[in-house]
Structure formats: C-alpha cells, structure tokens
Amino acid sequence: MKFLKVLFFLVCVFGVLTARAQSSSELKRQRDALSQQLEQLNREYQETSNNKKTTLKQLSLLKQKISLREEEINNINSQIRNLDNQISESNNSVHNLQGQLDQLKKEYAAMVLFTYRNRSAYNKLMFIFAANDFNQAYKRLKYLQQIGTYRERQAGYIQETQVELHVKITELDKNKKEKSNLLADQQKEKEALGKEKNTQVQVVADLSKHEGQLKQQQQDVQRKIAKTNKEINAAIRREIEEARRKAEEEAKAEQKAAAAKAKAENREVAAPKTKTITKSSTTSEILNATPEAARLSSDFLGNRGSLPWPVTNGNLVQGFGLYYDSENIKNESYGWDIRTNTGAAVRAVFQGTVKSIQNISGTYLIVIQHGEYFTAYSNLRSYNVREGEKVGTKQTIGSVATDPSTGQAVVSFALYKGTTPVNPKIWLAPN
C-alpha cells in the first residue's frame, strides 16, 4: 500500500512537470520569435541611421524595438517564474524521496536483522515443526518464503528511489543553472532597453528641430494613403455600376426574347426565372448576378482564414482599424501594411480578374475582383499584369517598392466585401 502511494505521488509530480515543460517550451519558442524580430528591426534601424538624417521612421522603429524588448523581458520573467516553480517542486520531491529512501532503508535493515537471527536451516525447520497442525506449518513455510520475496522487492524499491532521487537532484541543478543564465540575459535586456529609451529621447529631440519638414513628410504619406483609398473605392464602384448595367441589359434582352416567343405562341409572357436587377438591388445581388460571379464569391468565402499572404515573407507593421501616429493624431487603416524584402514579388491571394491599375504618386495600385470581393495591392514598384486579365492564386502581379529615405519595402494590402473594407486578419492564413 505504501508503495502504491509513492507511485501515485510520482505520477502526479511527473504530470505537473510535463505541463510545466510544455509551458517553458512555448515561452522559449516565443522568445526566439521575438529575438528574430528584434534582429530584423536592428538591421532596419541601422540602415535608417546610416542616412544621417533623423526621420519619423527611425522613431517608429525605435518604438517597435522598445515594445519588443519589453515583451522579451516579460517573457524572461515568465520563464524565471516557471523555473522558480520547478525548483520548488524539485526541492519538495527531493525532500520526499529522501524521506522515503530513509524509511525503506530502515525497514530493509530490520528485515536483514531478522533474517540474520534466523539464518540457520535448523532454526527455520524448528519454526515450521513447532506448529500445532499441518495447516499452521504450511502458513509458517509460506511466511518465510514471503519474507524473502518482500526483502528482494524492498531492495528493488531502494534502488529505484535512489535513481529517482539522483534524477531529481540533477534536474534541480540544471534548473538553477538555467535560472542563473536567464537572470543574466534579463540584466542585458534591461540595459539594452535603457539605451534604446535614451536614444528615443535623442531622436525625438532631433525630430523637433525639423518639425516643419517632418510634418510635410507626414502629410505626403497621408495624402498618398487617402488617394489610394479613393482610387480603390472608385474602382469598386465602377465595377458595381458595370455589373448593374450588364445585369439590367441581360434582363431586358431576356424579357424581350420571352415576350417575342410568347407572342409567337399566342400566350402570356411567363415571369423571369432569375431575379431581376433593379435600382433597389443590393451590392451583393449585383456582384453575384451571374453564376460565375456567385461561384467565385462562394469559393473566396470558403477560403476564409486560409488565403496566402500577398508576399512570401513579411511582418505586419500596421494592422486594420484605428491607430495613433507619432504626433498622437488618430488615423484609420483600411488594410495591412506588410514589411518585406527589397524587391519582393507581390502575388494575388486568390484567383480573380484585374480590374484597375493606377499610378499613385510614383507607385502602383492593383485592384483584383473575386466575385463580390475585391483585394487591393498598393506601393508597388512595378507590375506585370494588365486590366481585364484573369490571375490565379499566388500568381505574381508585381514587385514591392522601396522607400528611398528609409530603405524599407512595405506593401499595403486591403480586402473589401463590396464597398466595405474587412480585416485581413480573419481571411489570411497565420504567417
């Protein structure tokens, strides 16, 4: 019974430690990802700094670095807390195992002493023959056999407990060493964070000296964004009106043909089998008026959450929705800004038809229709498709432009259902 209790305790401890190990493994994976992002930001910041001209992009990169550095410190703190819990549990396990080992040794010593005192065959035979009857003699014989078996089992328990104790002590030493390394890393990260915050103060001071020029840069960026959004909306509205016109013309032609046929057959005109597009029809009804468009919309919807990114490698630098710029001015993003490699290929996220290609302040915007859905790709240096061309999923449509003042290659991606922008996060596959 005592052995079963010990076994149950060890199983519980193993289960808890396994869960801890999984948690620690996830924290290490997250920290590795944070370190890679920090390395990327450091390279980009160094390239920006080499321009010898403080820009808003430098400040933005510094803020991202500080945010990631703080996140990494929090990650290290979580790892340290995990290790503290593991060390505490290991200490308790070592203490319990040592107590169990001492008890097992004590019981084993008592059995050895008993065996020593009854070591002669004569004493064993006298113990058996002194029984009152045959049944009692048989029980005494079995008792002596059980003592030998129990002694061997106790020796096995002692060996197993010693091995388990050694494992726990080794694990404890390993955790203590790992904690020491993490504390050293934590101190380095804190020192780096302090330097980056001091640099941020200096950058802000430098920016204030060129406030007028920087505001002009910001205004140029905002004008480009506004023009891009306007062109996207205009392209979508044109397609809606064109789809409405075609649907109305087809409906009229169908009605005219049906009337002519009914007249020839001297009967009343039957009601149209398909729903007629009118001025009151919804955008969805208009864009899905044809079977081909309805099927494409359904296929696009069926791939929600698994669409590929518009670039093979990229990091999100600005998400969908409201945000505040460096001047604390509220803005709204209708898509994603994705930082990628210089000259990276930009690709269609789903099959569709190219509906618009526009030059926006020196870079290109491409709008692709997928039934009632539209995707827009802006800040392209070049393009290799034409309006009206059908494209496939992951087909290259152009290459991303690089900002000459910052050296950054950022592609802007937006997704619309009709004229309504939707968050790419729920449509694109996890990166």
Q: Give dist(CA 160, CA 166) in Å, integer.
A: 10
Residue 21 has pLDDT above 50, yes or no: no
Q: Which range is least confidently modeled, 52-56, 294-298, 342-346?
A: 52-56
Q: Give dist(CA 86, CA 92) in Å, integer.
A: 10
Q: Give dist(CA 92, CA 224) in Å, integer.
A: 64
Q: What is the mean pLDDT of residues 238-250?
A: 86
**Overall fold of domain 217-238+303-426:** Glucose Permease (Domain IIA) (2.70.70)
DSSP per-residue string spanning 30-75: HHHHHHHHHHHHHHHHHHHHTTSS--HHHHHHHHHHHHHHHHHHHH
pLDDT of residue 274: 53
Find, among 105, 92, 106, the residue nearest to 9 by Cα: 92
Per the prediction, the chain carries an average pLDDT of: 78
Q: Is pLDDT larger for residue 156 or for residue 175?
A: 175
Phi first, then psi, for residue 290 (nearest 5°) are -100, 150
The pLDDT-based confidence of 150 (bands split at 50, 70, 90) is low
pLDDT of residue 8: 45
Q: Which range is least confidently modeled, 5-9, 150-154, 241-245, 375-379?
A: 5-9
pLDDT of residue 178: 80
Expressed in angstroms, the distance from the first to the final Cα of the chain is: 53
Chain position carrying tokens 């899905």: 288
In the chain, what are the domain boundaries? 2-209, 217-238+303-426, 245-291
Find, among 385, 403, 398, 382, the residue nearest to 339 by Cα: 403
Q: Give dist(CA 150, CA 156) in Å, integer.
A: 10
pLDDT of residue 378: 95
For the record, the structure tokens of 102 come out as 């001492």
pLDDT of residue 293: 92
pLDDT of residue 414: 96
Q: Which range is least confidently modeled, 81-95, 281-295, 385-399?
A: 81-95
Predicted TM-score of the model (pTM): 0.55
Q: What is the mean pLDDT of residues 306-310?
A: 96
Q: Give dist(CA 127, CA 125) in Å, integer.
A: 5
Residue 314 has pLDDT above 60, yes or no: yes
| pLDDT, tens only, 165-190 | 777 777 777 877 887 887 888 888 88
Chain position carrying tokens 């099927």: 295
Q: Give dist(CA 252, CA 304) in Å, integer.
A: 36
Sort strands 420-422 and 409-417 into parallel, antiparallel or unpaired: antiparallel
pLDDT of residue 17: 45
Q: Which 8-state DSSP code applies to residue 308?
A: P
Count of alpha carbons within 13 angstroms of residue 253, beta-carbon side: 6
Q: Contacts by 91-98 with C-beta closer than 8 Å and gap 24+?
A: 91/172, 93/13, 93/168, 94/165, 94/168, 94/169, 94/172, 96/9, 97/161, 97/164, 97/165, 97/168, 98/165
CA distances, 385 to each of 169, 338, 377 (Å): 66, 21, 13
Q: Is pLDDT larger for residue 343 or for residue 257?
A: 343
Computed on alpha carbons and rounded to an integer, the radius of gyration of the chain in Å comes to: 38
Residue 254 has pLDDT above 80, yes or no: no
Q: Is pLDDT larger for residue 278 or for residue 125?
A: 278
Q: Give dist(CA 362, CA 359) in Å, integer.
A: 6
Residue 11 has pLDDT above 60, yes or no: no
Q: Give dist(CA 255, CA 193) in Å, integer.
A: 73
Sign of the alpha-carbon dihedral angle for 283, 287, 290, 293: negative
pLDDT of residue 212: 59
Inter-residue contact 366 to 385 (CB < 8 Å): yes
Residue 389 has pLDDT above 60, yes or no: yes
Q: Give dist(CA 396, CA 289) in Å, integer.
A: 29
Q: Give dist(CA 65, CA 42) in Å, integer.
A: 8
For the record, the structure tokens of 216 come out as 């002009």
The pLDDT-based confidence of 96 (bands split at 50, 70, 90) is confident
Q: Is pLDDT larger for residue 330 or for residue 262?
A: 330
| pLDDT, tens only, 329-353 | 677 889 999 999 999 999 999 999 9
Q: What is the mean pLDDT of residues 305-322?
A: 92
pLDDT of residue 217: 67
The pLDDT-based confidence of 271 (bands split at 50, 70, 90) is low
CA distances, 353 to each of 297, 366, 381 (Å): 12, 11, 20
H/E segment holding residue 339:
strand 335-340
Secondary structure class of 271 (helix, strand, coil): coil
Q: Give dist(CA 178, CA 20) in Å, integer.
A: 15
pLDDT of residue 121: 45
| pLDDT, tens only, 199-238 | 777 776 766 665 556 566 667 778 888 899 999 999 999 9
